[in-house]
Structure 1
C-alpha cells in the first residue's frame, strides 16, 4: 500500500512516500510558515497515496491545515500515531509512556527496523533528545536538551543586542568577531556536549551501542563531532513506515 508519511515538528513538516513498510527516497521538509509550498508539493505527486499517517509533536495550526487539505483533495483522514508503552518492538522505560514524544519512540522503531540496535539515538531537532536502547528493544531512558534553534532563540530573548549567528558547515573553534563567536559556541559547544553525552551513554551500557544521529540538524552537527556516528536523518519517518508492519 502506498502512503504519505508526515512528521509535524515544532517549526516544520517533514514528509516522505512509503510502500510496504519502507520509505522511498529522502524526506522533504517545509516550514510551518509556508503551508502553500507544502500543499503544492503534494498536489504535484504523480500518483495519489492510498493512506496518510503522521506523528505530531507541535504545529497545531499546521496539523489542522494538513487535515483539511488531505480531506478536501484526497478524501483521506490522516491517522496520527501516539506513543504506546510497547509497540514496534520497543518497550519504553518511562513510567508514563504518554510523556515521551511519539517521534522519539518512532526513532527507536526506525533504529530497530534498520538493524542498528543496540543504539544511542540522538535526534537533533528544535529539542535534542538522546535515548539508549538495548539489543532487545528495551528503552534504557533518555534526556532532552535545547537544540540549535532553541539556543539561538533563548539567547536572543535575554541578550537582544547580540547579532544573529549564521550556523555554517565550517565555523572555526576560536573566532575574531561576535557573530562567528556565537556560531562557534552553538556548533562546537553543542557538538562537544553531545560527544560527552554519547560516550557516557555508551559507557553505562552493558552492550556496545551504535551512536545514531537523526533529525534536521544531524548532518550539520555531525561535521563538528570528533567521533564516528551513523547518520540517519529520516529515522522517525522510517519508524513510522515500519511500525504498521509485523516486526516479530
Structure 2
C-alpha cells in the first residue's frame, strides 16, 4: 500500500535542463533524473497531487510557465529561494543565485571546513566558504558550451564537427581539437586560478568540490577533492528537512 503522505519531490531548474529526485526518509535523495524542461510536463502528468520543493534560477516568465504546469496537474509546490530557509551558510550578498547557496550548504554539511564549490553548467561558478562557514563570495564565467557558442557566434569559420577533448591540455594539431581542448584549458585555468586566489584569501588550502552537468568535460584536467553531481539537489534536501 502506498504511503498516505509520501516524501516530497525535489526539483532543481537550471537554464537548460531540470533535475529531480524524491526525498528519502533519511533526508537524502532517491534516484536522480536529469531531463529537458519540456519533458517535465510528462512527469507532472504522471504524478498528480504530488508535493514538490522547487528552486528555479530562470527569469519570472519562464518560472511562470513551469508553475502553470504544476498547477494544471494539481501538484502542491513550494518555491525555495535565497534565504527562505535557515541554513548554516548565509549568502555573502543578496543577488546570489539560490542554486549556488544550496550547493555551498550541501558541501559545508559534508566537509565542515574551508572549501571552494565549483559548478560547471551553462555558467561556471566558484563559491568560497571559510573555515567558520562564512560565504566569502565567488566568481561567474561562461560554462564550456556557452563559451563555445559565444566564440562561434563571432567567428563562425571556426566551427567544426565536435570531437571529444582527448589529451585535453596537450597542444592540438587540427582546428576541431584546438577548439575543444581550448575550452577545457580555459575552464581548467580559470578554476585553478580561482582556487589559488581563494586559498590566499582564506590562508589555507580549501577543499575543492566539483559539481554540475558540464563537470565531466573538464574533470580530467582538474583534481577535485570531491565530485558531487547532485550538490544543488542535496542542498534542497537539506532545506526540506529544515522546513516546517
2:150 is aligned, of 133, 147, 154, to 154
The answer for the alignment partner of 1:89 in structure 2 is: 88
| Structure with a larger share of its residues in strand | 1
Structure 2 unaligned runs (5+)?
Answer: 1-5
Give the conservation status (yes or no) of the 8 Å contact 1:165–1:182.
Answer: no
Give the conservation status (yes or no) of the 8 Å contact 1:12–1:30.
Answer: yes
The answer for the alignment partner of 1:31 in structure 2 is: 36
Matched, 1:77 2:83: no
Please show how residues 1-248 of structure 1 align to structure 2 within 5 Å: 1-20=6-25, 21-25=27-31, 27-32=32-37, 35=38, 37-43=39-45, 50-58=50-58, 63-73=63-73, 75-84=74-83, 87-94=86-93, 97=94, 99-164=95-160, 166=162, 168=164, 170-172=166-168, 173-225=170-222, 227-246=223-242
TM-align CA RMSD: 2.5
Corresponding pairs, count: 236
Q: Using a 3 Å threshold, how does the CA distance of structure 1 residues 9 and 108 change in structure 2: closer, same or farther? A: same
Shift, 1:12, TM fit: 1.2
Q: Determine the C-alpha separation between the residues in 1 that align with 2:33 and 2:8.
A: 15
Give the conservation status (yes or no) of the 8 Å contact 2:165–2:181.
Answer: no
TM-score (norm 1): 0.84
Shift, 1:49, TM fit: 7.3
Shift, 1:102, TM fit: 0.5
Give the conservation status (yes or no) of the 8 Å contact 2:165–2:177.
Answer: no
TM-score (norm 2): 0.85
Give the conservation status (yes or no) of the 8 Å contact 1:165–1:183.
Answer: no
